[in-house]
Homo-oligomer: A and B are copies of this chain.
Amino acid sequence: MNNLFRDFPTAAVRAEEETFEDLLARPDVRIERIVSTGQASPPGFWYSQPQGEWVVVLQGAAGLLIEGEPVRELRPGDFINIPAYCRHRVEWTEANGPTVWLAVHYELAQDAPTA
């Protein structure tokens, strides 16, 4: 796979589940393609990660909720930086056709065991 908009995993093509694929995985950064097909975070579930995450929607649409803020509707090209430990969840993704996200995870070293 060398194009973000092609070669979706079977589970994404069948709209069975959200798919996550690493495009680059290095000690300091991880770049991931996420394909959503109508999924949302489970009720009451919040992401809260020890890493920072910079994320952009490139196709489709999604509703992203940062705790304490209104839901943001993300359309193609819309990006946001989610700092480490910032609680957030996906309220909705477009039901008709895939939503393609590109996520850059950084500050990974905070996860590494200390020497």
Q: Which of A10-18, A25-33, A41-49, A91-99 binds B?
A: A25-33
How many protomers of this protein does the assembly include? 2
Interface magnitude class on chain A: 20 to 34
A81's nearest neighbour on chain B, judged by CB, is B24
B28 and A79 form a contact (CB under 8 A): no
Q: In whole angstroms, what is the CA distance A107 to B28 when docked?
A: 7
A3 partner residues in chain B, CB cutoff 8 A? 75, 77-79
* A71 part of interface (Cβ distance < 8 Å): no
Residues of A within 8 A of B (CB): 2-6, 23-24, 26, 28-29, 31, 52, 54, 56, 58, 75-81, 102, 104, 106-109
A selection of 28 A-B contacts at a CB cut-off of 8 Å is A2-B78, A2-B79, A3-B75, A4-B56, A4-B79, A5-B76, A5-B77, A6-B77, A23-B54, A23-B79, A24-B54, A24-B81, A24-B106, A26-B106, A26-B107, A28-B28, A28-B106, A28-B107, A28-B108, A28-B109, A29-B29, A29-B106, A31-B54, A31-B104, A58-B58, A58-B77, A102-B102, A104-B104
